[in-house]
Structure 1
């Protein structure tokens, strides 16, 4: 087999390089094991944290290798909030990743495939522009539906001039892609709902639309449970610990966990631990102090590799979101869900969503609404399970996580590559 060269564009893959794990880190490693020549292009600015990864010393790019995979860090704009600097960072990456890719191509040859992944659409646009100039296929991965997320959040009206312009731009990106990869099982319906598919007179062939969920490196996760242990007195106690990990932003509705803790303040055997950072962290810590709560603790940011050990100490895990501002009918593909499952712990899911692994695998409690009362009741319900019932939930979660291992997910990605290369 002729070795194929794949370049992955992900603005925020620097976090994966640092953590030695994550969707495109694991895709890159699995593809390399199968004989592909893989490189990852990412921004030098840190995602949702201040600062940069490396000192460029006047250069526009710097390359570092992890697991044999070169990560090409592109000059970008540091930011610390979702303001104008973050927009400038997106634009800078769009421009500079093209310059960086052309420079690398002159030295090493152009790729056979570009695999461009959003969070934001400018990364997809950069990938498509380069692919057209090199006459190679570009596979666009849509991690979040823009601008639908804006519409549901109420930031932009769908029928406004801006809303229509954003949808036109989105349609053009999808139309130009050689293949589309969606992360949630219901996302492809978005194409049909907008009448963009060929069956409804549109110009997007649904046979080029694929679904590849998020997942987990199951083996590495189990190894890190013991290899990445660290001291934390809140984990080393006899209480029933219910753990939330991840970003702390309005969409995560962590206020509901604070209020649930208030309802459980008389249960000395229960404690909620919150690991992560975000725009709401300081406000919530102050709120806990003002309410005099000792049964919920905000632990702040921890390295990704520490999460398996943290979750191994949990009685249960909390997949917490707000039910507003997001279309849960398309499903959910959050990394933390698969970490919770791989840890073999019951999951309390606080929003009702379609295509839910928690419901399909019967590995936890799925609430219709994430009210503080509902969360508190679910926590007490898990604590009240007998050992056999509890062990069954844990077994279902852990076994279910194996089907989301990245070796299986890379099989699906290879099939996408085979389609676009065959038609190229």
Structure 2
């Protein structure tokens, strides 16, 4: 066992038991491995717009799953306007304030690329305590905002964020990336790609129990299920168009269940109404704790992304981790430089934003028969166990942190 490390892990949007849980998942795994972890996160939920803290609380410290969680009071907001920007500033201010009253010193600090200001706060604390800073890159801000049309490269905001991004690459002892094709961008930013350690999103397999009774969808209508976001890069509209093509052709092989929420949900609802779809049901988002049980009701799980430049650094979708864990075949629609579905043999991949190609993919899976669909699902499950399990990835995270601490001390 490695020496006990005191890890501070900063976030704005990840919450224990929330919709986005990477920070909590890795914190819990590090605690299981014998380390002390402090997780900073907002009390206001980015996804549900609910507030955990009282009106008079600036922060709250409590133990969750063995993790010391510091809940931060930040102002509420909707959308991606000025309110969200002020919330990011609140997050930084509260982190710097709350950290002073904890009464101890970390050995290493991790901070995210989204929001970049939270990453800056992590680097600032690392400088204060003279410990290594780990920059965790999940999305490449600000370029990702430009790719989805949320920001112009001519904007002063872009140049501020780009300056911060380059500075954080430079200050980082390690760059922990969920994106497998980040090296060229880091080099183009004037920094050393040798700092990069690829640690993808993972999955806790414990709640994804084996479904021995699953028959592969034999002799009945196949349930195609989507569970995830309705963001700008999530291509739910193509799933809906594929359902329309099948309905127009009189093909009743498939029944669609689409679960989730986000900025494109209203567009999806209007699409379903205008198409008068009878083979597709839209449902509200569900807690992460209900995903394993819900996905047991699927015969095919579908993931679709737009043909966006934001995926040029690689694909690392949380939903694919959960899909593989559910041991169901996956249909993936997208054009990223990497394809976990193809790599794992867990399903069928088709081009992005092409409903006819998606329909062909569904028909290919249907024609395989139950036994082959079960086999594909099992391949995905095995891929999750060997490549994406928190146990395997937790060891990689632990090794990265320990080596960063050792090298930092050797230079000091």
Fold match by TM threshold 0.5: yes
Deviations 1:298-355 (A, max 9, x none): 111111111111111111111111113x343322111100111111111111112222
Question: Are residue 257 (structure 1) and residue 258 (structure 2) matched?
Answer: no
What residue in structure 2 maps to residue 23 of structure 1?
Answer: 22
Separation of aligned partners in 2, 1:283 and 1:330: 28
Question: Are residue 112 (structure 1) and residue 107 (structure 2) matched?
Answer: yes
RMSD: 2.2
CA contact (8 A) 1:347 1:365 kept: yes
What residue in structure 1 maps to residue 354 of structure 2?
Answer: 371
Question: Are residue 220 (structure 1) and residue 220 (structure 2) matched?
Answer: no
Question: Are residue 10 (structure 1) and residue 5 (structure 2) matched?
Answer: no
Instruction: Return the match for 2:285 from 263, 278, 301.
Output: 301
Instruction: Flag structure 1 segments of 5+ consecutive residues without an equivalent.
Output: 197-203, 227-234
Question: Are residue 398 (structure 1) and residue 381 (structure 2) matched?
Answer: yes
Matches within 5 A, 1:9-408: 9-14=10-15, 16-18=16-18, 22-55=21-54, 57-104=55-102, 106=103, 109-158=104-153, 163-192=158-187, 194=188, 196=190, 204-222=191-209, 238-265=220-247, 266-324=250-308, 326-402=309-385, 403-408=387-392
* Structure 1 position 195, deviation (Å): 5.4
Instruction: Flag structure 2 segments of 5+ consecutive residues without an equivalent.
Output: none
**Cα distance 1:249–1:205, how it changes in 2: closer, same or farther (>3 A)?**
closer
Separation of aligned partners in 2, 1:85 and 1:406: 35
* Structure 1 position 295, deviation (Å): 0.9
CA contact (8 A) 1:184 1:331 kept: yes
* Structure 1 position 389, deviation (Å): 2.3
* Structure 1 position 155, deviation (Å): 4.2
Deviations 1:17-70 (A, max 9, x none): 446x83222211111122111111101111122221232x52211123222222
Separation of aligned partners in 1, 2:163 and 2:117: 14
SS of residue in 1 equivalent to 2:312: helix
* Structure 1 position 377, deviation (Å): 1.7
SS of residue in 2 equivalent to 1:220: coil
Separation of aligned partners in 1, 2:151 and 2:73: 30
Separation of aligned partners in 2, 1:164 and 1:92: 21
Deviations 1:142-166 (A, max 9, x none): 1100122133234445477654443
CA contact (8 A) 2:179 2:314 kept: yes
**Cα distance 1:92–1:165, how it changes in 2: closer, same or farther (>3 A)?**
closer
CA contact (8 A) 2:148 2:233 kept: no
Give the alignment's TM-score, normalised by structure 2: 0.91
What residue in structure 2 maps to residue 415 of structure 1?
Answer: 399
CA contact (8 A) 1:12 1:42 kept: yes
What residue in structure 2 maps to residue 232 of structure 1?
Answer: none
What residue in structure 2 maps to residue 231 of structure 1?
Answer: none
Deviations 1:105-128 (A, max 9, x none): x3xx11111111232111110011
Separation of aligned partners in 2, 1:67 and 1:195: 38
